[in-house]
Structure 1
Amino acid sequence: MPARSRLFRVNLGAELRTLRERTKMSTRTVAARLGTSPAWVSRTETGARYPTPEEVGALCHLYGATSEMCDLLTAKAESNDGSVINLPSHDQFADQLANVMLLETEAWRVTEYELALVPGLLQTADYARQIFATVQRPQAEIERMVSTRLGRQPLLSRPKGPELRFLLDEFVLRRLIGGPAVMREQLRKIASEADRPSVHVRVIPAAAGAHAGLDGTFAVYEFAAVETYVYLEYRKGGIFLADPEDTRRYVDVRDALWESALDEQASVELVGSLAEGLADD
């Protein structure tokens, strides 16, 4: 079975379907209201056809969506090339990285909380290479993994891309990965990327002591209409949480950490000062 057929869609069509189902409307009712066919509605929701921004606006109006939600979905229709987002169904570990990348592409906001390492979207090649080399691997495999990781980073500058929020424990910045030169370059990259309007970095200072994020790292992916997803990564793989009761706990922790962390200006200043304080061996 092809990998993509094992995964279910959470793309724009799925979000439109969610809005329709909340109104208790059938595809036949929607078609009659818009002067189209039930097949048109169904194909739009399954991703067989990609709607125009005008069509999305009409559907949002029909479903009584908020103006904010309508703006988010219309922007997605304007910027998306029609590709779909997939998540694991039966095999939750299959195509793990591909699923993370697709989540990043389709979400309107992504928050990554890191307790130990710089998030992959912000890593330099040398920093990533050091991380992958901690496990015995052929050099060619390490280089392939580095290339794949860097291949995710155009998301940082994508027009109408998601809001990207990074919560970093201060010890992430102080852990000397690869030596002073590698770490200095890495810290400067974090500060540089934080200048982008869609990128927000906050640091939880060491002085904060015990906090709600000490249980481990996680990422939160938020969508306009469908439920929030949380990704938990561990040594042998990772899992996606979709149940609202489970994800709400992580969203609450995310919100608490975001409020208690240094503000963005102070965070970037700390990153910069740590970079300048690293002297070559």
Structure 2
Amino acid sequence: MATTPKGRALGIALRKVRKECGITLRELASMIGRHSGEISRWENAERPLTPERVAQILTALGVNGERFQEIVALAYDSKNPPWVATTLPEREQQLSALIEFEQTATLITAVAPLLVPGLLQDRGYIQAIMSAGGVPPSEIPTRIAIRVGRRDAITRAQPVRFVGLIGEAVLHQVVGSRKVMAQQLRHLGEMNGRPNVSLRVIPYKSGWHPALEGAFTLIDSDNATPIVQLENRRSTLLLHEEDDVSAYQEAIEQLQSAALNEHDSIKLISGVFERLEKNRDT
């Protein structure tokens, strides 16, 4: 069965509650009269769950109140797209699912016309974005840690392949300061040196291209439905229906035709970096 974003989030939530309670799969199976293998498949989103079954599991684990309602809500329409997350609990659930999709992916393609893709951002750049974006200062260290931690998907021993298609504007938009941008461009060069990472720049002269419609990320996996993530200031959208995903796959093909090759992209990034380094204190 294809794994959907909401189905993945539901399985993650149930596994988290079970582990918080110190209950093993076998113990939970005994409590609700099911087989431990079946529960494992539920937690891995390999089998669908009804709201009634979710309620049974949560009741057995002693979960009630607001958390009970939030998790049961994931079971409704877990197969149906799109998943628009607007509330804080929904966005946290969605982020958990997204991180697991990233960790189990075979290929992540990030299209970013204006900002460096999240998995390629360094700490100074992240902090500059969050500080200017109005994130409460007390929350910034935790959010930076989460974003940097997600980078493990492309830096670990057996990393996910990553393709970044970035607009030329990304290189010239000063985020934080010239010093911050110089370090971020240095970081891009270092990341591109990894054998699993490919970075290509879409030049100004390319004319109209699909990235001008907005940033998005396509996550491909051998054991889950491909998903597309779109994000704005107030909400996040995850798509997994075939027609929706196909539209973004076609957009990526167009962008790959419009982008500079990897060698010329790094040459362009290096040139901007050198100018920033020379003038970063002015």
* TM-score when normalising by structure 2: 0.68
SS in 1 for 2:147: helix
Equivalent residue number for residue 171 of structure 1: 169
Question: CA contact under 8 A between 2:109 and 2:165: conserved in structure 1?
Answer: yes
Equivalent residue number for residue 182 of structure 2: 184
Pair 1:273–1:246, CA change in 2 (3 A): same
SS in 2 for 1:151: helix
Superposition deviation, residue 99 in structure 1: 2.3
Question: CA contact under 8 A between 2:217 and 2:228: conserved in structure 1?
Answer: yes
Superposition deviation, residue 114 in structure 1: 0.4
Amino acid at match of 2:141: E
Superposition deviation, residue 243 in structure 1: 0.7
Equivalent residue number for residue 8 of structure 1: 7
Distance 1:199 1:173 in 2: 18
Distance 1:7 1:250 in 2: 20
Quick one: which of 134, 137, 151 aligns to 2:132? 134
What does 1:150-229 align with in structure 2 at a 5 Å threshold?
150-229=148-227
Equivalent residue number for residue 120 of structure 1: 118
Pair 1:89–1:209, CA change in 2 (3 A): farther
What does 1:1-281 align with in structure 2 at a 5 Å threshold?
7-9=6-8, 45-46=41-42, 90=76, 92-93=84-85, 94=90, 95=92, 96-278=94-276, 279-280=279-280, 281=282
- Listed as ranges, the gaps of 5+ residues in structure 1 are 1-5, 11-38, 51-87
Map Cα deviations across residues 100-156 of structure 1 (whole Å, 9 max, x no partner): 211111111110100111111111111111101123343221222122211212222
Question: CA contact under 8 A between 2:8 and 2:97: conserved in structure 1?
Answer: no
SS in 1 for 2:129: helix
SS in 2 for 1:139: coil
Distance 1:41 1:148 in 2: 31
Superposition deviation, residue 160 in structure 1: 2.1
Amino acid at match of 2:186: R
Distance 1:260 1:142 in 2: 36
- Listed as ranges, the gaps of 5+ residues in structure 2 are 10-34, 47-73, 77-82
* TM-score when normalising by structure 1: 0.69
Distance 2:142 2:97 in 1: 18
Map Cα deviations across residues 241-268 of structure 1 (whole Å, 9 max, x no partner): 0110011000100111012211111111
Amino acid at match of 1:117: L
Pair 1:140–1:212, CA change in 2 (3 A): same
Distance 1:137 1:157 in 2: 27
Question: CA contact under 8 A between 2:105 and 2:160: conserved in structure 1?
Answer: yes
Q: Identical aligned pairs, as a percentage? A: 28
Distance 1:114 1:89 in 2: 32
Distance 1:201 1:135 in 2: 26
Pair 1:92–1:184, CA change in 2 (3 A): same
Distance 2:234 2:75 in 1: 18
Alignment RMSD (CA, Å): 2.5
Equivalent residue number for residue 75 of structure 1: none
Question: CA contact under 8 A between 2:111 and 2:165: conserved in structure 1?
Answer: yes
Distance 1:136 1:184 in 2: 23
